[in-house]
Amino acid sequence: MRIALAQLDYHIGNLEYNTQKIIDKIILAKSKKVDIIVFSELSICGYPPRDLLEFKNFIQGCTNSVNAISEHCEGIAAIVGGPSINTKKEGKDLYNSAFFLADKQIKKIVNKTLLPTYDVFEEYRYFESNDVFECIDYKGERIALTVCEDLWNINENPLYITCPMDALIAQKPTMMINIAASPFDYRHIAERKKTLQDNAEKYSLPLFYVNHVGAQTELIFDGGSLAINSKAEIVNELRYFEEDFKVIDTDNFDEPVLDFGFASVELIYGALVLGIQEYFEKLGFKKAILGMSGGIDSAVVLALAVDALGKENVHSVLMPSKYSSEASVGDALEMIKNTRSSHDIIAIDDVVSSFESTLKEKFQGQAPDITEENLQARARGVILMAISNKFGNILINTTNKSEAAVGYGTLYGDMCGGLSLLGDVYKTQVYELANYINRNGEIIPQNIITKAPSAELRPDQKDSDSLPDYNILDKVLFEYIENRKDVKEIIAFGYEATLVHRILKMVNANEYKRFQAPPILRVSPKAFGSGRRMPIVAKYLV
């Protein structure tokens, strides 16, 4: 049997666009004498459609798309993902389904059994769980067709009571096909491969797996679709962070391939570039602006944006104050020169002085404090947003995860923006990215990488005046945020108790700031945003 894996980039809600992409690949597969072509989970509508699923015309549009695609399935079968209507009188209105199309008909609808409702997933909000398990017979093969999570209940600590493949294996299938929408994080590729290979090994069956690629706001899908033989060896691996199409002949399906073996920093860089490209393209924007300070964060953001959008579409704005050093301005200009992108210099001293003069009477008798520092950040935010408004550009935010975690940022100032590029990248990882960017030659000036980080909002300010050393801070944050360790568990790792209490209090006290932050490109196992839902007004146990 010849099976085509079609790893495509879909646009949520753009049913006509998605449908045509699927049809085009079916036509291509026919020309290559393919028996079955496989598309990913919810390929009809894009993943995750979220509350679009609550509109009847949206569901009807998805149904119409499936029917239109089926008309092209003559002499070939196609597996596509989409919502289907629950015709029972009980349960939720919809299923998350895989449609098996052949002979211009919907031959079979296989519904997803295991509905993830954790981290960024909320499928049980919309879908009913499957309770019928039937294989599909086609051209002499018996196919165990599953949807994404249905193969993930194979580990030592099962999350679900049901294991769909345990039910399907009793029907003696000859192969497994799984359609998925598995978001990227820098640990997930290895975990995903192991899970899929564990399935092939447990059931002694070949497995064909098709994943989404592309990005949908904060969620990035890395692709990496797989064909695994019955010995649990990967014999085909589709490309990462781009569309791909591959035809596999099951009669010649034994030779394993070498693992691509990406480094973590390389994966993060690739994911961020793709996330930027997709956010702009799917919103219909081309140009980005950012505030360029001469620091490591804005330098890395500029490099990412130029790589993603092209130098002609990225514009930096330098906004020096009386506290900005000549070295920082010089570093910023050198960075801009290295990327061959455009810039403006708009000094903010007069703007800040105007704010201070306006507030002088109100602030009479009050000593200067962080308020005056924040006026500088907010002046910059107003200028950047004004330029964004006037020229129709998207302001990209430069705050890193370490800063976002502890509230080291100013609401309506440096936290402004339409998209956060580094909000899921710790400061120590930002330096790793900087070195990766410079792997083939200096793009980011070495002085930006080696100098002590500073917001430059007061004389001789350093981040270390207010924050622990990033090498320690990031480790404590990782244990609390990614690993969900409590204060006692973190202290038990050997960290100083007073420091741990201080860091965790900063994280908890600044939940309200993160609630108002722009969307953050997700690259870690636990990002701020939809995957980490902490209450703003809670009393935390620290």
Residue 10 CA, chain-centre distance (Å), reads: 15
pLDDT, position 259: 67
pLDDT, position 460: 74
Straight-line distance from the first to the last Cα atom of the chain, in angstroms, rounded to the nearest whole number: 59
Domains and CATH numbers, the chain: 2-262 (3.60.110.10), 280-464 (3.40.50.620)
Active-site pick, 25, 108, 112, 401: 112
Active-site pick, 62, 73, 135, 148: 148
> What's the mean pLDDT when you consider all of the chain?
95
Structure-token match 């975990």, residue found: 191
Q: In what order do the strands lie in the sheet with 419-420?
A: 342-345, 314-318, 288-291, 394-397, 419-420
- Please, what is the Cα angle at 18 between 17 and 22, to 5 degrees? 120
The pLDDT of residue 533 is above 70: yes
CA 244, 248, 47, 240 dihedral sign is: negative
pLDDT, position 217: 96
Phi, then psi, of 506 in degrees rounded to 5: -65, -45
Residue 97 CA, chain-centre distance (Å), reads: 23
CA 525, 527, 533, 535 dihedral sign is: positive
* Other C-beta atoms lying within 10 Å of the C-beta of residue 217: 19
Q: Strands 175-179, 207-210: parallel, antiparallel or unpaired by DSSP? A: parallel
Confidence of residue 13 (pLDDT cuts 50, 70, 90): very high
Q: Does the annotation mark 73 as catalytic?
A: no
Mind listing the pLDDT tens digit for each residue in 230-272?
Answer: 999 999 999 999 999 999 999 887 777 766 667 899 999 999 9
How far is it, in rounded angstroms, from Cα 529 to Cα 515? 8
Q: Does the annotation mark 112 as catalytic?
A: yes
Mind listing the pLDDT tens digit for each residue in 64-108?
Answer: 999 999 999 999 999 999 999 999 889 999 999 999 999 999 999
Which burial class, exposed, middle or buried, applies to 87 when counting CB atoms under 10 A from its CB (0-12, 13-18, 19+)? Answer: exposed
* pTM listed for this prediction: 0.95
Mind listing the pLDDT tens digit for each residue in 25-57?
Answer: 999 999 999 999 999 999 999 999 999 999 999
Q: Are 396 and 418 in contact (CB under 8 A)?
A: yes
Q: Does the annotation mark 108 as catalytic?
A: no
Mind listing the pLDDT tens digit for each residue in 307-346?
Answer: 999 999 999 999 999 888 888 899 999 999 999 999 999 9
Structure-token match 């196919």, residue found: 143
How far is it, in rounded angstroms, from Cα 35 to Cα 213? 23
Active-site pick, 21, 25, 41, 149: 41
Query: What average pLDDT does the segment 497-501 reach?
Result: 96
